[in-house]
Structure 1
């Protein structure tokens, strides 16, 4: 028979085995993927109650639970859990554990909408690894950084981060990872409203998902592709891909995704004026929303219901549900949907001639938009500050490591080296201060000379422009109705008779263009106008004007009056001959000077600004830019770039003004500036000799 002491020891050992068995079983259920996230969370929490030692295994459990809380949306529990992990020293953890902790914190703050803080932790995680050693981790964290930048609307930084991730994934041959990053790049270009680029990235991602037989991811990418078609008003194409994605999620019983797709389908049908189909989708969406309870999708549901009711002619009902949506979106701090709801309220009020209500909603929209702008500004400030603090921390760590190395290397003969370093530092400081003062004095002289030169060129540019007082003296008191257009196609002068005819005031001609005066139905006139050719007393009978009931006869001619202008005369029978500048100089020499100056001015502009001659014409306002076959052209300027195409009576003032404009507005090299000044001086001297200035 067994003794009582032996039996007692046996039962104690047996109880230990029984108590440890659930721990071993639950460890597998906690750390690995489980279809039931709530059960997985309970298993992890139970493990933490049993295992209270600060081991690496315990840390991994806490890290997994942090990810589960974040995924579930239990952000408060996630922060409490992180607070319980602060006693772990970074030195006792592996680099991978440190990396995963920083990345998980970044994901937590991202889910909470704190994107600048999220970006800070993603960057901390990236600083813990090396791109050439930990390639897979580097690709993953760069994708996270790109996602944070995308949420902050910093699209160029997002594209840069995603491309870094894509490069590594292509090297590793991770087809699924490549598809994910392609999908993310598509989202960036979609936010930038660059539809062709976004569509290309989404389609490439869809093709890979289809090859890998990943229908869930393919459905998400098709949904993104549909958003492009919806924004581009390709409603049939959008409807096709949305329906495909909806059928997949409906089959998988994914109610959240199904609700999202139903809202997109209803929005597409409302935009396409197919109200019956939109109502069917919204009825399905309401049924799912009742099951899921209030969420961000509830706001979008109210928005689409309000738009549908408004389209059906039910003003009061539309207004009521849209206002309910505004209240709900404000409670959820959903500024995007708040602005969309206000916009829908404005459209609803205007549609039913409720202009007072529309004005009130417009004021509320403006207030909300301003608040959103301030919020974005504050977020930008937080981002900058967080980045600065991160850089400071990084620099402090680097400096600390360097100081430790220096201390180890300077233990021997420290006093002598300290004295030597002090002398070197003193000499360096004196030299630096002297150099800074010398540079400051030199920079001040250069800046003074540069401002003097720029101001002179600007004065020459303005001096050679049209003098409005001279135009008033020449045409202001004529009984003939006249107006004058400059090279930028803007009205720069209108006399009293024309003001009376067109029923406008002189003070209102600012920013007035020909599109505001002459109707598009006058095709003969507009065809010649858009071709960019010069007018020579061209007569157009019975031209229809926007402010005049009956047709008016119109004569158009191009005049050289300080610069080339276009004169419009209404009810004109005989027009006086306008005075053209004639040249008594040698035409060949004069023309060659003009072409040379124009070519070197254009080359200097392109070299300094990295832009083309169209940008020069638009920025200076000297040369006319026209549209031909859907392309911008500078026909007038182009004639001055070759001697054989130069007009017989060239606009020499425009050429000189162009040179002065380039010298005034561009930062040129000394060699380029000297060459341009020499050409300009030679032409000016020749013109003065011929008494043309």
Structure 2
């Protein structure tokens, strides 16, 4: 994409989100629904400086827009909105396009700063339409960057990358690349959990900002690089980035940002368990804040409280956190981290009940924020969908009118051509061919739409198979005994507090204290890890096992009882206790299903279900091999559902192969993995309609058994 990219292509790129096929947003040059103020009183009302050149409407509008930009930059959003309303009232409903464009763009920026991302996206897209219609390359590149940033905030990373890449290519074609587009692309890759690409683009953004002499933005990029390094566990590299950012802010004379850098430096020091270094950064931050009369930001308060807690001053840390939380508004994102740290401080001070209550507050606020973000995204998607449906309806009516006009012209032409029979026959034949082709195209389009809907349904069904473990975690935490839930690979899916204490009592990981999401073998002594792996492998065919192992610190030996989870799917309930404890039977994790069913009937149903699973897995592998031309090993590697092992120097999928023979099928089959494999093949393979229907029929048969047995 170069400097000569057409306006139509740019608009398609700008709207390349989940509803990329929808037409562009219909824009109004005067989108404000409420009454506008009197233009004559606007300059005095918004506080324009006396003596400003307001000789013409255009100059007054420019002055009001400049005033709005200053208010937005200072965080005074109400004053900025008043200035924009006055600008709109002054320039009128049919303004010069540049003033109307700037008004639309500034309203988008204001909505973005107010966290009204869907509204900001609509404004940015309207501004993009205006700049594209007038072929302003600089404005188009800037608007594409704004649209990409809004799409990133809404979770549409593919659309964000598409628009930001288009903006970058346009700037490169003009020979003027700003650091902001590199920074936005890096943010997208960071959200996509691709730290290498994010680091590369952050470095390019840093070089661009330094070339422009923009020290403040360069410092922001350095902070982002340090956060990436901390997330990857490289605290030493993070400290280098932060020290460089600190020097940059000092040269720019920005003391407020210096305090934010000190928070990062303290976090890096605490990540290395260097409490003395963290104390030095804390004292330096206090000195800067006292000298320049600055309030400590919430991020710095969090790190100071964390360092005080680690120094053994939990009461002082709790007091500091209470004050910091009280200073923040309700619903602020920073309150969550402060509440979590407060719960740790209260626990360290010995007040466990207060710690639990604080942690519940933290989880509740996190849930509320997550729900609000989802509501914003759903509202945006719903608005886009309704707009697309309305535009499609209009387009369908216009097409129908055109078809009717064409039919009318055809009838008139046939009346005039009745005198020429040969020509009429040839014309009729041509029209017949055209209608057949059109019908074929319509049928093909309908088939593609149905196929896309089916693929979306398959992917949704595959995603719906994921376990929702929040209720399970609450159930485990209500138990006094130590219980974990692990999968067949030994990954810890859920663990209650008692199990966390037994598995990680030595506290080797001061940041992540829960084994959830970790391999169980990481908490077992090296001498017993092979025994653990063998026990997990036997669980697919065993009803229960008990074995002892040494904890990773070697100080305690634990006794573990492995039993299959009664809800199926090959998950394992792991009961833990110290080997020296009294030999009392361990409790099992039951799901409360009724036990008064007919044993003979249940056995017949189980055998039918096992046979259905094997037939479904055979059909999945056969369909994959015929449609892709690759082996079942490729299916396991691409889907990431089945584990690939090395057996005598060869890659094997032993776990999958057990599901291809009825006699080798485990007693506790992982039927969810079989269904996920089927949905993966349905969603990624090209096959004939008959093959798709047959495979879907087998999936439905397996689902019918799971519903009948109340396994879902």
SS in structure 1 at match of 2:131: coil
Identify the match of residue 335 of structure 1 among 314, 332, 337.
332
CA distance 1:159–1:673, shift in 2 (3 Å):
closer
In structure 2, C-alpha distance between the alignment counterparts of 1:221 and 1:79, rounded to whole Å: 30
Aligned to 1:278: 278
In structure 1, C-alpha distance between the alignment counterparts of 2:379 and 2:633, rounded to whole Å: 35
CA deviation map 1:602-637 (0-9, x unaligned): 3268699x9952279875xxxx625569x9964327
Contact map agreement 1:490 1:514 (CA 8 A) in 2: yes
Q: Does residue 636 in structure 1 map to residue 633 in structure 2? A: no
CA distance 1:487–1:367, shift in 2 (3 Å):
closer
Aligned to 1:71: 73
Aligned to 2:146: 144
Q: Does residue 312 in structure 1 map to residue 311 in structure 2? A: yes
Alignment of 1:25-104 (within 5 A): 44-47=48-51, 51=54, 55-88=57-90, 92-104=94-106
Aligned to 1:427: none
In structure 2, C-alpha distance between the alignment counterparts of 1:285 and 1:279, rounded to whole Å: 10
In structure 1, C-alpha distance between the alignment counterparts of 2:332 and 2:650, rounded to whole Å: 39
Aligned to 1:603: 625
CA deviation map 1:197-233 (0-9, x unaligned): 2112112333445566665544332222111112222
Aligned to 2:300: 301
Contact map agreement 2:633 2:653 (CA 8 A) in 1: no
Contact map agreement 1:659 1:676 (CA 8 A) in 2: no
In structure 1, C-alpha distance between the alignment counterparts of 2:643 and 2:279, rounded to whole Å: 49
Give the CA deviation at 1:164. Answer: 2.0
Give the CA deviation at 1:652. Answer: 13
Give the CA deviation at 1:533. Answer: 12
Aligned to 1:358: 355
In structure 2, C-alpha distance between the alignment counterparts of 1:337 and 1:145, rounded to whole Å: 26
In structure 2, C-alpha distance between the alignment counterparts of 1:638 and 1:520, rounded to whole Å: 28
In the alignment, structure 1 segments of 5+ residues that lack a partner are 1-40, 410-415, 417-434, 455-484, 492-510, 555-563, 567-592, 678-693
Give the CA deviation at 1:343. Answer: 0.8
Alignment of 1:207-606 (within 5 A): 207-209=207-209, 216-290=216-290, 298-330=297-329, 333=330, 335-384=332-381, 387=384, 521-525=527-531, 544=549, 600-603=622-625
SS in structure 2 at match of 1:133: coil
CA distance 1:77–1:551, shift in 2 (3 Å):
closer
Aligned to 2:682: 666
Larger helix percent: 1
Contact map agreement 1:70 1:78 (CA 8 A) in 2: yes
Aligned to 2:198: 198
In structure 1, C-alpha distance between the alignment counterparts of 2:202 and 2:523, rounded to whole Å: 45
SS in structure 1 at match of 2:253: coil
In structure 2, C-alpha distance between the alignment counterparts of 1:157 and 1:660, rounded to whole Å: 27
Contact map agreement 2:46 2:79 (CA 8 A) in 1: no
Contact map agreement 2:633 2:652 (CA 8 A) in 1: no
- Give the number of the structure whose alpha-carbon radius of gyration is greater: 1
SS in structure 1 at match of 2:309: helix
In the alignment, structure 2 segments of 5+ residues that lack a partner are 1-44, 406-411, 413-438, 459-485, 493-516, 562-569, 573-614, 697-712
CA distance 1:257–1:101, shift in 2 (3 Å):
same
CA distance 1:269–1:634, shift in 2 (3 Å):
same
Give the CA deviation at 1:675. Answer: 9.8
TM-score by length of 1: 0.57
SS in structure 1 at match of 2:527: coil
CA distance 1:360–1:43, shift in 2 (3 Å):
closer
In structure 1, C-alpha distance between the alignment counterparts of 2:240 and 2:524, rounded to whole Å: 43
CA deviation map 1:292-347 (0-9, x unaligned): 6676x5222322221121111011111111111111123xx462210000110122
Contact map agreement 1:605 1:662 (CA 8 A) in 2: no
In structure 2, C-alpha distance between the alignment counterparts of 1:91 and 1:220, rounded to whole Å: 39
In structure 1, C-alpha distance between the alignment counterparts of 2:522 and 2:221, rounded to whole Å: 45
Superposition CA RMSD, Å = 5.8
Aligned to 2:592: none
Contact map agreement 1:601 1:659 (CA 8 A) in 2: no
Contact map agreement 1:259 1:285 (CA 8 A) in 2: yes
Give the CA deviation at 1:66. Answer: 1.4
TM-score by length of 2: 0.56
In structure 1, C-alpha distance between the alignment counterparts of 2:241 and 2:151, rounded to whole Å: 28
SS in structure 2 at match of 1:335: coil
Give the CA deviation at 1:101. Answer: 0.8
Give the CA deviation at 1:373. Answer: 2.4
In structure 2, C-alpha distance between the alignment counterparts of 1:58 and 1:365, rounded to whole Å: 49
CA distance 1:155–1:674, shift in 2 (3 Å):
closer
Query: Larger relative CO (CA 8 A, sep 6+): 1 or 2?
Result: 2
SS in structure 1 at match of 2:372: helix
In structure 2, C-alpha distance between the alignment counterparts of 1:313 and 1:373, rounded to whole Å: 34
CA deviation map 1:423-462 (0-9, x unaligned): xxxxxxxxxxxx9xxx9xx99xx99xx9xxx9xxxxxxxx
